[in-house]
Amino acid sequence: MACYLVGDIQGCLDELKQLLDDVGFDPAQDELWLTGDLVARGPKSLETLRYVRDLGPAATVVLGNHDLHLLTVSSGLAREHDKDRLQPLLAAPDRDELLRWLRFQPLLAEHSEYPLVMTHAGIPPAWDLTTARQCARQIEAELQSVDYFHLLKGMYGNQPDQWDDNLSGIERLRYSINALTRMRFCYPDGRLEFHHKLMPSGNHPELVPWFELPAAYLEDKELIFGHWAALEGHCGRSDYHALDTGCVWGNTLTMLRWEDKQRFSTACPTYAQ
């Protein structure tokens, strides 16, 4: 048995299958953990959802920002991004079944045997793991409720950008969604910043990658995340594993085998500009 963890798929199903073939993945005995953004700008978002859904308990998924946006678009509450390729999925006969399955995926996952925790974008420095769990569970409860439109309609926006234990209602949910699915840079005081997406550099000295700020205790867990393709799989920490290597942008899809920390990758065509 092996546990494989893979970065953002974004509809690049052929590349995922190639990696799984390369490592000899067997869903009867192996595990596949996916960092979110299953859909969006690659050519096979529909097929990707079907494939991962059909893996059943062999697959563990956390929701990314593109997955949440798909749910909002499908509910008529937002417009599709110009570069997304979601129409085949939105027109599929099994779309409602697939979208319901997606809506019931978590935003934070922890392994029952290994000391690993996974979210799409990371865990903000202001949170300890207990807070991260609580906030993820609150989002999941809203998303899985009959009134989930309320969450989808209110989740967009960059404020509040700083954590406060007294946050409540949609503001607490919006901060939590942004932290778990959109976060890259922070200001030194921990406020989230959402405009810059490139590599950390000296061009914006007032900004700090979220994983470089002093963080609350994560209970000796190692953190798996995706979302930030410009990192090219490197964040400079041995206990944090960045796995989004920009497959959809013509770079590579990267998979980590937990047991020996070996990485595997496959080259990808450029699907998005």
What is the number of domains present in the chain?
Answer: 1
Is 273 part of a structural domain of the chain? no
More confidently predicted of 210 and 217 = 210
CATH code at position 86: 3.60.21.10
Query: Where do the DSSP E strands lie in the chain?
Result: 3-6, 31-34, 59-61, 109-110, 116-118, 185-186, 192-193, 208-209, 222-225, 240-242, 252-257, 262-267
pLDDT digits (tens, 9 = 90+) for 64-106: 999 999 999 999 988 888 788 999 999 999 999 999 999 999 9
* C-alpha 163, offset from chain centre: 20
Question: Which amino acid, residue 89?
Answer: L
Is 11 part of a structural domain of the chain? yes
Indicate left, alpha or beta for 219 from its phi (over 0: left) and psi (-120 to 50: alpha): left
Is 106 part of a structural domain of the chain? yes
Is 272 part of a structural domain of the chain? no
Express as a percent the part of the chain with pLDDT over 90: 88
Is 236 part of a structural domain of the chain? yes
Q: Mean pLDDT, to the nearest integer, of 222-248? A: 95
d(CA 6, CA 106): 16
This prediction has a pTM of 0.96
Least trusted range by pLDDT, from 83-97, 128-142, 197-211: 197-211
Is 88 part of a structural domain of the chain? yes
What pLDDT score does 202 carry?
Answer: 62
Q: Mean pLDDT, to the nearest integer, of 10-17? A: 96
Domain interval for residue 35: 3-267
d(CA 222, CA 240): 6
